[in-house]
Amino acid sequence: MKILVPVKRVIDANIRVRVKADKTGVETTNVKMAMNPFCEIAVEEALRLKEKGDAEEVIIFSAGPEKSLETIRAGLAMGADRGVHINTDATLEPLAIAKMIRAIAEKEGADLVILGKQSIDDDNNQTGQMLAAVMQRPLGSYISKIEKNEAGFAITREIDAGLEMLQIASPAVVTTDLRLNEPRYASLPNIMKAKRKPVEVSTPEELGVEVSNRIEVIQVNEPPAREAGIMVADASELVEKLKNEAKVI
């Protein structure tokens, strides 16, 4: 089995983002970037399937500017075999990214594509579902467990009401939720080794994917700030405030 793992370079999860003064977006200059945390979970799961003997090869995919190569290398340092970088400075929307992933998944003959369920920058939560739709492959969204079996994959999904178990055919597309695994850290020797692993470079044009934008960002604003309130000393003061001041109980 061959596994394709698309990953995204985002502002590090621990950085507090700032809206730009001109309201065109958030400040990304001189800001620490990292692999999207849900994508790390996706890479980890692919590596575990390989280590169990269920997969032979794990390929990391990323679309974006030159710097996206760093994120691909981060996946290779975790243990993936090789990378594919779609080099473009264009603003990419999930539908266009899904079409690029489709092109690579078809070319590589990937049996399973594992994606993070959501990136923590745009919070779209779309690419995996769109990929399944454009490839007409079964979707397992928000998974917390996956096992390969003869019929394909047995998966457990995290849904609002609890957990759901599905059996999906292979080849398939799945998206990772938080409880799927805890990603490993790359060791120094593996970081060095990753530098020599092959990364194929392509462009949206070479893949025949149009990247014109359907969504225009008109403005990005700070959310209304919440003011810190007061501290209470004991239960009776809290209950009194909630009753008579806030009037919520």
Partner 1 sequence: MSTLVIAEHDKSDLLPATLNTVTAAVQVGGDVHVLVAGQDCSAIADAASKIAGVSRVLVCDSVTHAQDITENMAALIQSRSGDYTHVMAPASTFGKALIPYAAALCDVQAISDISAVVDSHTFVRPIYAGNALATVRSSDSLKMITVRTTAFDLAECGDGRAEIENIEDVNATDSVQFVGQALSPSERPELTSAKVVVSGGRGMQNGENFVMLEQLADTLGGAVGASRAAVDAGFVPNDYQVGQTGKVVAPDLYLAVGISGAIQHLAGMKDSKVIVAINNDEEAPIFQVTDYGWNEDLFKAVPALQAELEKE
Does residue 22 bind partner 1 (CB under 8 A)? no
Does residue 242 bind partner 1 (CB under 8 A)? yes
List the one residue from 3, 104, 112, 130 that touches partner 1 (CB under 8 A). Answer: 130
Cα-flanking dihedrals φ and ψ of residue 13, to 5°? -60, -25
Does residue 21 bind partner 1 (CB under 8 A)? no
Segment near partner 1 (CB under 8 A), from 43-51, 104-112, 136-144, 200-208? 136-144
d(CA 101, CA 11): 22
Looking at the Cβ atoms of 83 and 204, the one nearer to partner 1 is 204
List the one residue from 69, 134, 191, 199 that touches partner 1 (CB under 8 A). Answer: 134
Does residue 95 bind partner 1 (CB under 8 A)? yes
Both structure tokens of 241:
């405030």
97 contacts 43 by C-beta, under 8 angstroms: no
List the one residue from 67, 70, 147, 167 that touches partner 1 (CB under 8 A). Answer: 167
Looking at the Cβ atoms of 47 and 98, the one nearer to partner 1 is 98
In the chain, the largest separation of any two C-alpha atoms, in whole Å, equals 69
Does residue 121 bind partner 1 (CB under 8 A)? yes
3-state SS class at 75: helix
